[in-house]
Amino acid sequence: MQPKLVEARSVLVLGGARSGKSAYAQNLAESAAPERFYLATAEAGDAEMAARIARHQAERGDGWTTVEEPLALVETLRAVARPGRRAVLVDCLTLWLSNLMLAGRDVEAEVARLAAAIGALESPVVFVSNEIGLGLVPETKLGREFRDWQGRANRKVARACDAVVFVAAGQPTLLKPPPRLDLRLR
């Protein structure tokens, strides 16, 4: 079922690995504006990741400007999310969170800064993030901390965004604004 159309300047797209969330988010950004910025948080730490990044860039095609920023997400967003005929796609918050943790940054403060900045961004922004809390409890302490921080970050960003969409098996479901039931007697 396709989500109903909603007015939104900021959208969080959640889903699992290979769920179709990035493709859905890309389509949203492409339909929002003719000029598009792809704010990438991934770093090519090995050959497989470098190939993955190259494949994603090729799939996006023309009409996109890629900006790579693994840590300073808020500052970069403020710089590229300017008024006019442009949209920004941030892919993804999960890698950004991982980068913050591995760099020893204050994750709570960075997530709070991002959530606070969302409402003031001057162009449409689509955020992509993994929903990792639906699986097994990670075996390691770092894995459990990451899972917990990801859940907290997703909640804070979801609260700050105008709309939230969950993608499973390539099918988007609108989470925010929440669907409303009509329980009136007819």
| Residue pLDDT, tens place only, 133-154 | 888 889 999 999 999 999 999 9
Helices H / strands E in the chain, number of each? 6, 7
Domain spans of the chain?
Answer: 10-176
pTM: 0.90
| Contact (CB, 8 A) for 177 and 10 | no
Do the Cβ atoms of 93 and 157 come closer than 8 Å?
yes
User: Which two tokens mark 110?
Assistant: 């960075």
Task: Write the pLDDT tens digit of every residue in 96-118.
Answer: 999 999 999 999 999 999 999 99
174 contacts 6 by C-beta, under 8 angstroms? yes
Class of domain 10-176: alpha beta
Active-site residue, selected from the candidate residues 56, 147, 152, 176: 56
Q: Is 56 a catalytic residue?
A: yes
